[in-house]
Structure 1
Amino acid sequence: MTNTANTANTANTANTANTANTANTANTANSLQGTTLVVGGNGKTGRRVTEKLLGQGRPVRVGSRSGEPAPFDWNEPATWGPALEGVDRVYMTYYPDLAFPGAAEQIGAFSQVAVAAGARRLVLLSGRGEEAARLSEEKLKASGADWTVVRASWFNQNFDESFFLEPVLAGEIALPTSDAVEPFIDADDIADVVVAALSDDRHIGRTYELSGPRLLSFSDVAAELSKATGREISYIPVSKEDYRAVLRENDLPEEFADLFTLILDGRNAHLVRGVEEVLGRPPKDFADFAREAAATGVWDV
């Protein structure tokens, strides 16, 4: 998508509705105008969406709790209005998760504020298999926005940028789940889909489910990481109570134990074609992610 958006032929391809690349270009005159607010712009997908939009020469405002560069806090509605000034579209990620209590109310309230401020194009990152997140999606749809929902599977980048970086470095990944399979998705693929949704009117009113190209158990993940790093990395199932203790020790919400147990029960043990549908190409395989991440030295010990 970024390649077509940056070529001189964009104006000629944007009207060709039958090509796979068209879905990845800004085919409306106003798609390249206005500022995009990226809520959670320092996160795994938000950072990538920001980089891709800037690479297309599009103005971006990063909203984050740190206040850099624009203060934005889901728990502080007073920060919403200033962050939305001059904005015509928004990519929304919610911390800690849409399945947490209060998320739907905040998503609904913010969506209404955004639409009233002139930011009608709203793209929401949601989760596959999270029934509690569906209420947030419905609140978005009821706001009057031109909405798109992107439901993603577990991120590959959970293993090199967040939750499981330290466990990988320690050589042991522990989770409160049986060895169910999950179609891990790469954050770059998610970001490409989000940028397409922000850019192309044909994605308005659509819900896309994204997965990677292969179902992997956490034992499979450990094997792929072992191969990429040259070290032995194992997967250890633990009880939910033991995992709660681990979360407390790392200052993370204990509710993640319930969430992980819920969504890793096999409900997402099937592949979907959202990436291919939007981008016209296959998603990245976990093995390719692991090899590329290992080459950066992030897992060196």
Structure 2
Amino acid sequence: MTILLTGGTGKTATPLAKLLPKGQHSRTIGHPEGVRFDWLDASTYRIPFDADDNIDRVYLVAPAIIDVFPPMKAFIDFAIQKGVKRFVLMSATMLKEGGPMMGKVHEYLHSCEVDYCALRPSWFFDNLLLHYSDTIRKHDEIVNAAGSGLIGWISTDDIADVAFKAFTDKVIEHTNPVMVGPELLSYAQIAQIMSDVFGRKITHRTISADEYKKIVVRRGFPEEWAALVSATDLSIAEGAEEKVFKQADFMGERRLRDFIESYRDAEEWKSV
């Protein structure tokens, strides 16, 4: 068994790699055992297989574009030709089979004669560092359009545990697991946890979807992506993630407070 981890330096592939026996996985560039891979450059698809012709399983982490299906389909087809028999796809709670983005990839994997698992986790703990650290650092506040909506925040380590089973179990028990953390939290509740941990007052401020879209664009994201992010916030405000939490197939054990405490001194959200 040899596993290719696309997105090998990312939030979920990194803890997954730690669970895999040494020598039983390949990773993308950025690690000693990594190789070059670019979703948008089909000439790189062969590089991992040239490095190790025993690859029979692939972890699929989509490129950071809206229309992920064309390049992902092209690579899946290539990988199947190279003998890959099992795929584990990183998707999301709100992306059902046949839906947009990874939902189309999920549907395509279902149509292929391969084993597959489409992981559908809720929001990662790490998103707080990646998407809100600027306003936390500069203004001691989390700003978005999610209102008082609740989210079942999940640790990437819990996601990695499920992915590991999907790769190593003889038969994949659940091909479409919706995954959440152990508690529902609003951004206001998260701001309170941060206040307790950081020793300074952090607040949550709700703005309109259009206002938040402009903030995301200013952070350097394409307008189409920013529109998707702000629309997602509206769905959270309307209770979409809370509904998913009650129907989840897997509940992780790790808690958000522990994550925030472990990153208490992170430069990303130190006050300036």
* TM-score, shorter chain, exceeding 0.5: yes
RMSD: 2.5
Whether 2:27 is the aligned partner of 1:62: answer: yes
From 80, 94, 101, the equivalent of 1:115 is: 80
Partner of 2:240: 267
Partner of 2:209: 240
From 37, 43, 49, the equivalent of 1:78 is: 43
* Count of aligned residue pairs for this structure pair: 257
User: Which stretch of structure 1 is more off in the superposition, 70-79 or 260-269?
Assistant: 260-269
Q: Helix, strand or coil for the counterpart of 2:253?
A: coil
Partner of 1:52: 19
Q: Helix, strand or coil for the counterpart of 1:173?
A: strand
From 128, 135, 146, the equivalent of 2:104 is: 135
Whether 2:239 is the aligned partner of 1:288: answer: no
The answer as to whether partners of 2:213 and 2:230 remain within 8 angstroms in 1 is: no
Q: Helix, strand or coil for the counterpart of 1:147?
A: strand
Distance 1:227 1:46, change over 3 A: same
How far apart are the structure 2 equivalents of 1:296 and 1:244? 26
Partner of 1:16: none
Unaligned runs of 5+ in 2: none
Q: Helix, strand or coil for the counterpart of 1:294?
A: coil
1:143-202 Cα offsets, whole Å, 9 max, x none, are 322111100101011113x22233332322111333211111111111111111111122
1:138, distance to aligned residue in structure 2 (A) = 0.5
From 225, 228, 235, the equivalent of 2:194 is: 225
Partner of 2:165: 196
The letter for the 2-side match of 1:274 is D
The letter for the 1-side match of 2:25 is V
Partner of 2:143: 174
The answer as to whether partners of 1:64 and 1:73 remain within 8 angstroms in 2 is: no
The answer as to whether partners of 1:49 and 1:194 remain within 8 angstroms in 2 is: yes
Partner of 1:90: 58
From 36, 39, 45, the equivalent of 2:3 is: 36
Q: Helix, strand or coil for the counterpart of 1:150?
A: strand
Question: What percentage of aligned pairs have identical amino acids?
Answer: 25
Q: Helix, strand or coil for the counterpart of 1:290?
A: helix
User: Which stretch of structure 1 is more off in the superposition, 173-182 or 120-129?
Assistant: 173-182
The answer as to whether partners of 2:214 and 2:226 remain within 8 angstroms in 1 is: no
How far apart are the structure 1 equivalents of 2:230 and 2:270? 30
1:247, distance to aligned residue in structure 2 (A) = 2.3
The letter for the 1-side match of 2:81 is A
How far apart are the structure 2 equivalents of 1:190 and 1:167? 27
1:257, distance to aligned residue in structure 2 (A) = 3.1
The letter for the 2-side match of 1:241 is D
The answer as to whether partners of 1:211 and 1:283 remain within 8 angstroms in 2 is: no
TM-score, normalised to structure 2, is: 0.85
Unaligned runs of 5+ in 1: 1-32, 277-281
The answer as to whether partners of 2:60 and 2:87 remain within 8 angstroms in 1 is: yes
1:80, distance to aligned residue in structure 2 (A) = 1.0
How far apart are the structure 1 equivalents of 2:215 and 2:226? 10
